[in-house]
């Protein structure tokens, strides 16, 4: 009953690879931009400046309270013209892809902020004092001493969050973006094999996430021995 039509799958491999590339692009942008902005927010959240504290906490509270599907719809339905004006996007640019990338990056920054903040606060205060005693400025202390140690300590958790981001990219179906999951379901609906394609997509996600989880465990073991 659920036998896979391998001929159809082989004929559609181009569409599936294109969809996977869209999924990976969203994932990579969300990780790189989200981690960079999240680290800045983490530093702001522990800074002595009250205004920066309030801004970082308000940002994290706001974006962690908004469902991802709602955020994607907001950016797709409300913000496209703003994105076109700010980034000077050409008509050939897929505004759905840009909207998804921005939405994911801003949302994940809130989660990365909390992870990095926990990493920074887990370090002994002596690290801060030692860096300052060496004549480093607060910025230099954070850049060369604190953040590298916090990043190393939080690396397994950061990588786990990256796996979650990869899984969550499937939600871009709400803005009709042709990611891997969307392409798989479209092929299934076209050929009358929706159940089989959903099972195939699930297996692909499972294999990729399992491999990434193994990498996380290996890093955890290596970190524990260091």
DSSP 134: T
Please say if the pLDDT value at position 30 is more than 90. yes
CA 110 to chain centre: 10
92/133 Cα distance (integer angstroms) = 54
Work out the pLDDT band at 113, boundaries 50, 70, 90.
very high
Q: What is the gyration radius of the CA atoms in the chain, in angstroms? A: 21
68/111 Cα distance (integer angstroms) = 12
> What pLDDT, in 10s, does the model give residues 77-95?
877 677 666 666 666 677 8
Q: Which two tokens stand for residue 139?
A: 């910025």
Q: Higher model confidence: residue 7 or residue 117?
A: 117
Please say if the pLDDT value at position 115 is more than 90. yes
Q: What domains, with CATH codes, occur in the chain? A: 24-179 (1.10.3720.10)
184/201 Cα distance (integer angstroms) = 7
Per-residue pLDDT at 138: 78
Per-residue pLDDT at 12: 82
Per-residue pLDDT at 196: 86
């Amino acid at each position: 009953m659920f036998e896979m039509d391998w001929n159809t799958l082989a004929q559609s491999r181009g569409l599936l690879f294109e969809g996977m590339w869209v999924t990976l692009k969203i994932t990579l942008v969300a990780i790189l931009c989200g981690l960079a902005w999240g680290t800045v927010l983490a530093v702001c959240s522990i800074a002595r400046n009250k205004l920066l504290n309030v801004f970082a906490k308000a940002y994290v509270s706001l974006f962690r309270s908004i469902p991802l599907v709602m955020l994607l719809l907001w950016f797709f339905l409300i913000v496209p013209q703003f994105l076109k004006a700010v980034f000077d996007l050409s008509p050939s640019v897929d505004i759905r892809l840009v909207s998804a990338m921005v939405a994911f990056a801003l949302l994940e920054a809130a989660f990365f902020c909390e992870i990095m903040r926990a990493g920074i606060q887990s370090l002994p205060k002596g690290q801060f004092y030692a860096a300052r005693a060496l004549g480093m400025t607060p910025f230099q202390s954070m850049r060369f001493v604190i953040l590298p140690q916090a990043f190393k300590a939080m690396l397994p958790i950061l990588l786990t969050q990256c796996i979650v981001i990869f899984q969550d990219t499937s939600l871009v179906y709400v803005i009709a973006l042709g990611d891997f999951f969307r392409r798989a379901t479209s092929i299934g609906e076209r050929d009358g094999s929706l159940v089989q394609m959903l099972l195939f997509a699930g297996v692909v996600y499972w294999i990729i996430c399992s491999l990434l989880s193994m990498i996380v465990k290996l890093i955890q073991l290596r970190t524990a021995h260091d």
